[in-house]
Amino acid sequence: MENIIQSVRDFRLTTSEVIVYQLIVCFVVIWCQFKWIRRNFESVAAKMKGPKGYPFIGSSFDFIGTPEQVMEKVLKIDDKYSPGPIKIWVGPYFGVIVIKPEDVQAVLNNSKALQKDRVYDFIKNIFGEGLLTAPVHKWRKHRRLITPSFNASLLNQFFPVFNEKNKILIRNLKKELGKTTPFDLWDYIAPTTLNLICQTAMGYNLDTQSEYGTEFENAMIKASELDSLRMKTPWLYLSFMFKLYLKLKGHSDVFNTLYKLPIKMIQEKKEAFAQRKILNKPSAVDVTDNEREKLKVFLDTLFELNEAGANFSDDDIKDEVVTMMIGGSETSAITICFSLLMLAIHPDIQDKVYDEIYEVFHDDNETITIEDTNKLVYLEQVLKETLRLFPVLPLVFRKLEDDIKIASDDLVLPKGTTCIISILGTHHFSESYPNPWTFNPENFNPENITNRHKYSFIAFSGGPRGCIGSKYAMMSMKVAMSTFLRNYSVHTHYTFDDIKLKIDLLLRSANGYPVTIQLRDRRPTYIRNKKL
């Protein structure tokens, strides 16, 4: 007994040992608390398949790499665990990837799944709190006020601008005629779509100030790359660490540069709006209702709403303008480039598209109207098939504000779950699309559309927070594609397998969109073949 007492007396702990034991105790306590908080999520996760998650960092290791490597890993996860739902730990947060159209519908249409997930906080330095990223209460208000800006009568007024800007595109492309070395479609299409959205939505013409457009486009691509890097790099989550990283890499001015053009447009339009108010006074020169309506653009609508008490702050206006500029230009440019590349790879489909265009426009110089776009049925199938294969926004993140039941196995996703709608996975779901990686516009003929679930195609998302500009996008892309193909045939040495995808904030071609062009033989295919 005395020996035991003596041993206890002789027992001593060094300071470092005390610290180590305290750290161990703290870690055990934190770990137990962590497991307790996640108990509901882990009980659901136990019923699902998915990549392995590690304590605190989740599945982050699965998304380390270049934008091309990350894209490959996203595709592998969808392919390996499809049709899901798939569990995935987003850092310490529980996530579920949904792919089946029935599950997608259950989430996108649920009023408790309208909140954008915390991951969108990382892109607010680009979009602020515009419609894309705004919290639900703010989104509801802005969406209700802005939606009338996209009615059919206003969209119809955009067609003169659509025609004008695409004629400029055709003129600019002439320098590529006769060359055997491929050029990148992006270099011509991206400035055109940006100019379009600036003039149709902001009333601002970039033709004479193209340097502002180039600066904005370059800043947008760099900002997307930086925010994408931040999303997959946990140590950059803290704002001060991200700012330090930008400073060390020489990118401190990227986001300020991005805002130069939007702020310039807002200021000039605000001044013009003030002048127009003077013209509308009884003592001013008379302006007809028709003329006044033609002068109104998206920015005018925001100013008018403020006059009526909407209380948009300067930051609110800037955020909506930036969201509109990027949503209305980048997404359309990517889709047009992919579509033309697909037609270059598939010349038989290109011929079929041109034959339809020829049926609508016998006169080569005929100006396209909104009625004409409704007749370009097969061209729309091509655009939709391109969006199916290459959805510009491949993933949508929602934070569930309550438990939500989905169709698969009557599974209930608990409140707080990060729900990831894999548009890419849904668009390549083999039950909806046989041979899902084959370019086949017939996937969107009326019969096939009727036989598929409504939510098997969600290129513009779906539910209440679906894309507000989907009609604008489809109309503008039809005008661009039909104008291009009326004048030029497009060719490439690429095959479908040569296309490598990458993801920053949007899905892009890693190697650009290399093509050559020739003057269009304006005869329809059956006449050309007959002569041969």
pLDDT of 67: 82
pLDDT tens digits for range 210-259 = 788 889 999 999 999 999 888 888 788 888 899 999 999 999 899 999 99
pLDDT of 282: 45
Judge whether residue 8 has pLDDT over 50.
no
pLDDT tens digits for range 264-315 = 999 988 888 888 777 665 433 344 444 444 556 888 888 888 888 888 899 9
Tell me how far apart the alpha carbons of residues 440 and 436 are, in angstroms, rounded to a whole number: 9
Which CB contacts under 8 angstroms, 24+ apart, belong to 22-28?
Answer: none
Q: Parallel, antiparallel, or unpaired for β 183-184 and 507-509?
A: unpaired
- Burial readout 443-482 (b: 16 or more C-beta within 10 A, e: otherwise): bbeeebeeebeebbbbbbbbbebebbbeebbbbbbbbbbb
Please, what sign has the CA dihedral across residues 462, 464, 466, 469?
positive
| Beta carbons of 478 and 377 less than 8 angstroms apart | no
pLDDT tens digits for range 438-449 = 999 999 999 999
Token couple for 436: 């899902």
| Beta carbons of 528 and 471 less than 8 angstroms apart | no
pLDDT of 33: 64
Please, what sign has the CA dihedral across residues 519, 522, 526, 531?
negative
| Beta carbons of 236 and 64 less than 8 angstroms apart | no
DSSP secondary structure letters along 58-110: BTGGGG-S-HHHHHHHHHHHHHHHTTS-EEEEETTEEEEEE-SHHHHHHHHT-
Share of the chain above pLDDT 90, in %: 57
Average pLDDT, the chain: 86
DSSP secondary structure letters along 299-356: HHHHHHHHHTT----HHHHHHHHHHHHHHHHHHHHHHHHHHHHHHHH-HHHHHHHHHH
Other beta carbons within 10 Å of 21? 11
pLDDT of 526: 66
Judge whether residue 3 has pLDDT over 60.
no
Tell me how far apart the alpha carbons of residues 373 and 313 are, in angstroms, rounded to a whole number: 37
pLDDT of 31: 60
Give the list of residues 6+ apart from residue 513 with CB closer than 8 angstroms, or none: 184, 185, 186, 337, 338, 340, 341
Tell me how far apart the alpha carbons of residues 364 and 381 are, in angstroms, rounded to a whole number: 23
Tokens 């029935």 belong to: 102
Strands (DSSP E) along 367-467, which ranges? 395-399, 404-405, 412-413, 418-422
- pTM for the whole structure: 0.89
Which has more pLDDT, 361 or 513?
513
Judge whether residue 12 has pLDDT over 70.
no
Region 24-40 average pLDDT: 68
- Quick one: 372 exposed, middle or buried, by C-beta within 10 A (0-12, 13-18, 19+)? middle
Give the list of residues 6+ apart from residue 434 with CB closer than 8 angstroms, or none: none
Nearest residue to 469 via CA among 281, 313, 326 = 326
Token couple for 275: 């002048």
Could you check whether the bond before residue 85 is cis, i.e. omega within 30 degrees of 0?
yes
Q: Is 32 annotated as a binding residue?
A: no
Judge whether residue 84 has pLDDT over 80.
no
H or E element that contains 148? none
SS3 percent helix, strand, coil of the chain, rounded to 5, is 60, 10, 30
Share of the chain above pLDDT 70, in %: 89
Nearest residue to 166 via CA among 519, 487, 512, 520 = 487
Tell me how far apart the alpha carbons of residues 261 and 178 are, in angstroms, rounded to a whole number: 36
Least confident of 77-91, 242-256, 347-361, 468-482: 77-91
pLDDT tens digits for range 496-526 = 999 999 988 899 999 999 999 999 877 777 6
**For the packed helices 254-279 and 210-231, what is the interaxial angle rounded to 10 degrees?**
130
Q: Parallel, antiparallel, or unpaired for β 418-422 and 93-98?
A: parallel
Number of H helices, E strands in the chain: 23, 11
Alpha helices in 147-185 (DSSP H): 152-156, 159-173
H or E element that contains 490? strand 488-491
Token couple for 365: 């110089």
H or E element that contains 23? helix 15-37
Cα angle: 144, vertex 149, 151; to 5 degrees: 100
First-residue to last-residue Cα distance in the chain: 111
pLDDT tens digits for range 105-126 = 999 999 999 999 988 999 999 9
